C-alpha cells in the first residue's frame, strides 16, 4: 500500500509547495495539509491527455431545457475516445424468468470500487474573484465525504461491490489546490474541456506520486463562473442555456500509470443544478454535496462507464431507463410552481434530495437505487431513515 503521505516531485507539468490550514467546519476541525500546484501543460502532457480516454463519461443532466431534453432521450454517456458501445451481458433477470423489476440494475462484468481514497482537487481558487477559500467556493466537501464514508447510507453500495466494512471510502487529509491557465490549451477559450480535466488529474497524480486504479477517485472542483464541456456543445454553461446540458460527470482515463477514476464537479449553486430551498445546510452547501454523492457512488458502482473496458452496474432494460446508473434513477425533481403538464418558462426546477443524517450531521442528498429494496433508498435496508449513521 502507498503511504498516505504524498511524495514530492518536480515536473515541467506541475510544481508544488505545501502549506497548512484548519479543515472547514467545527464538526470536522482537524489539521489538513494543502498542496498547491501550478499546472502548465507541455506538449507531452497534452499528448498524454489527448490519447488517454478509452471509454466514455457519464453525465448528470442539468434541470435546464437542454438537460431535460437530453434526459428524455436517454443521453447520459458520451463516448470520449476509441471505445465502443456499452458492453452487454447480465447476471440479473433481464433475460430470465421470474419477477422483473424495471428499475433494477444489471452487472456487466467489469470493475467496481470496493474501497477507495478520494482526492479533492480545487482549481483556480486563489485567482477566482468570487471565492478564495474552499469554504466560500464549495463548503466542506472533505468533511461531507468523511461523514458519508462513516454512515449507513454508503452501505447501499455493498450489494453491488461485495464489500461490507465500514469506513472503506475515505477522503484524503490533503487538499490539492491547482492553478491552471485561464485560457484552455485545447479550446483556446476560457471554456475548459474534458481534456483539461484529464490534464489536471494527470499532472496531480504524476507530481505527487498518487495511485491510479480502482482504489482512488479524483474529484476536480471548478470555481463559480467556470464553464466546462464534456464534448462539443455539451457543457456545464449557466451563461449559455443552449449548451447547458449537465451539472457534473464521472469517467475513467487511461493514463500511463493505468486507469484513473475522476469526477468533474462544477459550481452547483446555480439554476439547473441547485437543490430545493430550505435544506439543512442551505442550497450552496447541499447542492455541492448532493452532486458529489451522486458522482462518487456512481463511480463506485460503475467506474468504467462504457467503451474499451467491461462496465459495472447500470440498467440495460428497454423501459425508459436504459443506460441509467445507481444515482440517475433516484435524482428526483421539484418544480415550482407545479406546472399543468411540463415546466414552463416561469417554472423553477430543483433537485429534490432526502434529508438524512450522516455520521451525526444533517445533510440533504438524493437516495440511490437499491436492487435489494427494488427502489430508491438511503441505506442498505431501503427506505428513508437508514441514513442515520
pLDDT digits (tens, 9 = 90+) for 329-351: 999 999 887 666 666 555 689 99
Give SS3 for 63.
Answer: coil
Asked if the model's pLDDT at residue 116 lies above 50, the reply is yes
Predicted pLDDT at 326: 97
Whether residue 100 is preceded by a cis peptide bond, meaning omega within 30 degrees of 0, is no
Asked if the model's pLDDT at residue 288 lies above 80, the reply is yes
Query: Is the Cβ–Cβ distance between 223 and 130 less than 8 Å?
Result: yes
Beta bridge partners of 14: 39
Asked if the model's pLDDT at residue 312 lies above 80, the reply is yes
- Closest C-alpha among 299, 314, 332 to residue 371: 314
Asked if the model's pLDDT at residue 21 lies above 60, the reply is no
Query: Is the Cβ–Cβ distance between 61 and 307 less than 8 Å?
Result: no
Mean pLDDT, the chain, rounded, equals: 85
- Closest C-alpha among 290, 301, 274, 367 to residue 58: 301
Asked if the model's pLDDT at residue 254 lies above 80, the reply is yes
Alpha carbons 68 and 71: distance in angstroms, whole number: 5
For residue 246, give Cα distances in angstroms to 54, 82, 230, 291, 331. Answer: 21, 23, 9, 11, 13
Predicted pLDDT at 316: 92
Alpha carbons 24 and 145: distance in angstroms, whole number: 13
The b-or-e profile of 247-280 (16+ CB within 10 A means b, else e) is bbbbbbbbbeeebbbbbbbbbbbbebbbbbeebe
Q: pLDDT > 90: what percent of the chain?
A: 67
Predicted pLDDT at 8: 37
Predicted pLDDT at 388: 33
Q: In the numeric block, which cell numbers belong to residue 356?
A: 438524512
Give SS3 for 60.
Answer: strand
Most confident of 57-71, 264-278, 294-308: 264-278
Amino acid at each position: 500500500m502507498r503511504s498516505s503521505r504524498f511524495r514530492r516531485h518536480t515536473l515541467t507539468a506541475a510544481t508544488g509547495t505545501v502549506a497548512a490550514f484548519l479543515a472547514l467546519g467545527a464538526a470536522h476541525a482537524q489539521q489538513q495539509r494543502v498542496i498547491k500546484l501550478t499546472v502548465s501543460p507541455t506538449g507531452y502532457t497534452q499528448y498524454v491527455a489527448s490519447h488517454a480516454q478509452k471509454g466514455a463519461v457519464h453525465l448528470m443532466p442539468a434541470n435546464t431545457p437542454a438537460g431535460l431534453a437530453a434526459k428524455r432521450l436517454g443521453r447520459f454517456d458520451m463516448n470520449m475516445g476509441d471505445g465502443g458501445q456499452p458492453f452487454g451481458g447480465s447476471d440479473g433477470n433481464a433475460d430470465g424468468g421470474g419477477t422483473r423489476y424495471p428499475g433494477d440494475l444489471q452487472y456487466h462484468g467489469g470493475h467496481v470500487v470496493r474501497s477507495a481514497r478520494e482526492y479533492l482537487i480545487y482549481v483556480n481558487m486563489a485567482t477566482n474573484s468570487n471565492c478564495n477559500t474552499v469554504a466560500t467556493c464549495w463548503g466542506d466537501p472533505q468533511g461531507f465525504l468523511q461523514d458519508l464514508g462513516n454512515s449507513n447510507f454508503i452501505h447501499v453500495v455493498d450489494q453491488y461491490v461485495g464489500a461490507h466494512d465500514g469506513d472503506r471510502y475515505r477522503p484524503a487529509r490533503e487538499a490539492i489546490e491547482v492553478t491552471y491557465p485561464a485560457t484552455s490549451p485545447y479550446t483556446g477559450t476560457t471554456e475548459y474541456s474534458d481534456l483539461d480535466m484529464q490534464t489536471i488529474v494527470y499532472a496531480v497524480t504524476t507530481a505527487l506520486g498518487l495511485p491510479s486504479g480502482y482504489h482512488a477517485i479524483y474529484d476536480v472542483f471548478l470555481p463559480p463562473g467556470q464553464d466546462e464541456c464534456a464534448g462539443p456543445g455539451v457543457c456545464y454553461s449557466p451563461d449559455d442555456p443552449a449548451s447547458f446540458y449537465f451539472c457534473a460527470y464521472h469517467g475513467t482515463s487511461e493514463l500511463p500509470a493505468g486507469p484513473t477514476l475522476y469526477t468533474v464537479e462544477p459550481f452547483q449553486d446555480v439554476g439547473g443544478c441547485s437543490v430545493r430551498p430550505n435544506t439543512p445546510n442551505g442550497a450552496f452547501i447541499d447542492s455541492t454535496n448532493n452532486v458529489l454523492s451522486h458522482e462518487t457512488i456512481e463511480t463506485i458502482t460503475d467506474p468504467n462507464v462504457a467503451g474499451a473496458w467491461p462496465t459495472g452496474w447500470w440498467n440495460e432494460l428497454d423501459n425508459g431507463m436504459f443506460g441509467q446508473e445507481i444515482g440517475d434513477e433516484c435524482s428526483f425533481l421539484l418544480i415550482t410552481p407545479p406546472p399543468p403538464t411540463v415546466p414552463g418558462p416561469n417554472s423553477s426546477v430543483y433537485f429534490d434530495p432526502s434529508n438524512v443524517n450522516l455520521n451525526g450531521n444533517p445533510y440533504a442528498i438524493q437516495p440511490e437505487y437499491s436492487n435489494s429494496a427494488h427502489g430508491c433508498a438511503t441505506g442498505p435496508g431501503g427506505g428513508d431513515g437508514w441514513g442515520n449513521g
